[in-house]
Structures are given as C-alpha cells and as structure tokens.
Amino acid sequence: MSDKSLEISDLAYAYPDGNQALFGVNLSINRGERVALLGPNGAGKTTLVLHLNGIIPTMQGRVSVAGELVDGKNAESIKSIRHKVGIVFQDPDDQLFMPTVGQDVAFGPYNAGLRGSQLESAVRQALELVGMSEFIDRPPHHLSFGQRRRVAVATVLAMKPAILVMDEPSSNLDPAARRELAEIITSLDITLLMVTHDLPFAYELCQRAVILSAGVVAADGPIKSVLSDSNLLKAHRLELPKGFSL
C-alpha cells in the first residue's frame, strides 16, 4: 500500500458553463494524517472533494488514492476508488435511507459482495467504532441528528476506506453531540480530510490545515501556524470565534 493516502497534482477544473473552479491544485496527504480543508464559500472545496471518488471526472491533472489513479473513464477503477474514499456528507439524511440502522450500514458492504458472517462482522465493527451498536435495529428517523451523523460515519467505515472525507461534520450539532463526534474521530485509525468552517473543531482534531481559496491552495501547514496568522485568515474570509485561544 502507498504511504500516501491522497496525491493530487495540477488539478484544474471548469464547469460546463465556463466557471473555473480549480486552478492547478497540488495536495498530498500521508497515511494517518488528519487534515482540515478550509476556505470561504465558493473556494472550490466541494469541487475538489467530488474529484476524489470520480463523481467529477478528472479533466486536467491527476488524482491518486492509496496509490491508485482515479480514472473516470474506467468503470472498474471508479468502483475500486469508491471503496477507498469514504465521504460523509453534511446532512446524514442524504446517506440514510434503509428501514434500520443495521441495514443502512450493511448497504455498502453488501453491494461490495460481502455476505453472511463477514457482512455481520463489518456492520458490527463499524457501529462499535461510532458507539451505535445498541441502535442496530432502530429506524434511522427515530434517532437524534447527532446519532444519525454517527450512523452516517459508520456506513462509510464499514467499507474500510483508505481516506475518510467529512463535509462540515460539526454543523447542527449540540455541544454534547459535537464532543462525542470529536472523540469518535480522534479514536479512528484512518486518514482524515475534514472540510469545515468550524476552525476550533478543526484545531481540536487536525494536525494540518490547508486553505483553498479561489481554486488554489493559499496555505498549507501545521494547523496552529495557519490559524495563528490573522492576516491570512482575514484575506480568505476565515475567522476564529472571539476569545478563542490557540
């Protein structure tokens, strides 16, 4: 296995309407790193993330996940890549659609070919990682928002991805649910790319920060160093809460 969970080289992308979203992005993430992807709205963060598993095909540049090139023209390659990249969307209801929690978590592994005891083990292990084992037979819509987010994380972990991508993981969580999710993320032995505007949450969980702004990488370094640069944050419409101390 490659020691790089993610390698992006000279990635550029323009939408069909001519809007240029990315201008030659270069980014490398080592196995086990936890990286915060920061930036203002419209910076290109979502466009970048959607390249990672081929939802948006690579038009210019290269994207590799765990040493495998993301090739949007090759169906087998895309299938393999989507096992390696687990994306947890901002709204858990975009990922939970089965009658029970267990069936939701089983959906991905089942479609990947797991059956019987292997499938049961994958579901059980994923739910244990997020502290939701006791809810395996519960309908997802009977859970709190924070619990649904944890189940959404489990649906991705059940696929044993090489990299976990989380889009605004702390949004709409009350303080207790936010703390619980932070503890879960910290406990995971996995590469993490967290897209967030919540700078304190990023600081708590990530060692490194990358600022994407106007389709280019504007900063990349240790998270404390990046967040300590008030001029850098201001230039890219990022703000720490008043009174927050690094």
Six-digit token pair at 111?
């479609």
pLDDT band per the 50, 70, 90 thresholds, residue 1? low
Q: Are 34 and 186 in contact (CB under 8 A)?
A: no
Residue 96 backbone dihedrals phi, psi, to 5 degrees: -110, 115
State pLDDT tens for residues 89-148. 999 999 999 999 999 999 999 998 999 999 999 999 999 999 999 999 999 999 999 999
**Could you write out the DSSP letters of every residue in 97-144?**
-SSSHHHHHHHHHHHTT--HHHHHHHHHHHHHHTT-GGGTTS-GGGS-
**77, pLDDT greater than 90:** no
What's the pLDDT tens digit per position in 20-68? 999 999 999 999 999 999 999 999 999 999 999 888 989 899 999 999 9
| 152-178: average pLDDT | 96
In a domain, 137, yes or no: yes
The answer to whether residue 159 is domain-embedded is yes
Domain membership flag for residue 241: no
Read off the pLDDT band of 78 (50, 70, 90). confident
The answer to whether residue 242 sits within a structural domain is no
Flag whether 245 is in a domain. no
Q: Is the pLDDT of residue 2 over 70?
A: no
Predicted TM-score (pTM) of this structure: 0.93
What is the domain extent for residue 92? 4-235
pLDDT at 187 over 80: yes
Q: What number is the average pLDDT over the span 210-231? A: 97
Q: Is the pLDDT of residue 157 over 70?
A: yes
Q: Mean pLDDT of all residues in the chain?
A: 94
CATH of the domain at 92: 3.40.50.300
- Would you put residue 139 in left (φ > 0), alpha (ψ -120 to 50) or beta? beta
Residues 6+ apart with CB under 8 A from 141: none
Binning pLDDT at 50, 70 and 90, where does residue 238 land? Answer: very high
Query: In angstroms, rounded to a whole number, what is the distance separating the alpha carbons of residues 82 and 78?
Result: 6
Q: How many independent structural domains does the chain possess?
A: 1
Domain presence at residue 240? no
Residue 30, in any domain of the structure: yes
Per the model's pLDDT, the better-predicted residue between 3 and 72 turns out to be 3
Examine residue 109 and state whether it is found in any structural domain, yes or no: yes
